Amino acid sequence: MLIGEDGIGPFRLGMPIPADLLKEEPDKRYTARFYADAQPLEGFGFEAPPVFVAVLGGPFHAWGKTHLELPPPAHVAKRAIMLARSGKLTVAMVVIASPEPCTAKGIGVGSSYAELRRAYPAAQARMLPGLWEEPSCVVDLEPSGPVRVFFAKCGRADGGTGASIDPGEKAIRVVVAPPS
């Protein structure tokens, strides 16, 4: 499956999750949790393609701001599922942690940093405050582009936000999200 500039498979940034993908066991697909510095994140996990789809407009975002680090009650999940099935939640971000999907140039989870640099010579590596791991080392495939590749180990390259990544380091995640 191809990772594109606007998403992967049926999941497109800014578009609703196709309702037919939420017919079976949506309560098992729904996830709501906090990441980084207590930022609410909610969405749905899928197997084909193997992705987590974070959504905008869900009830956990508002609920989580006043209930930091608490698991959401059942009514939050039920509301999110109802909103998603009715097309009222839109795809904010697609997180890929499986080696199967890749970009048109063959880069995906498990690709080395050297392979990424050969395929995308203009790619920009930078460090971010910890999102899922500390620090978050991310490579924008295109400057200000929506496809980012995460690596677990990196160091500072220039004292600023630049990152130094070992050429053999393997990608642990690919994220498609609007440029930040």
Q: Which pLDDT belongs to residue 33?
A: 87
**From the centroid of its chain, how far is CA 159?**
27
Domain range list for the chain = 3-96, 113-176
Q: Supply the mean pLDDT for the chain.
A: 89
Predicted TM-score (pTM) of the model is: 0.90
Q: How do residues 63-83 score in pLDDT, each as one tens digit?
A: 988 888 788 899 999 999 999
Strands 7-8 and 30-35: unpaired
Distance CA 75, CA 114 (A): 46
Q: Which pLDDT belongs to residue 129?
A: 60
The secondary element (H helix, E strand) that includes residue 76 is helix 74-85
CA proximity to 174, closest of 106, 91, 109, 116: 109
Q: How do residues 142-164 score in pLDDT, each as one tens digit?
A: 888 899 999 987 766 655 556 78
Distance CA 63, CA 24 (A): 26
SS3 66: helix
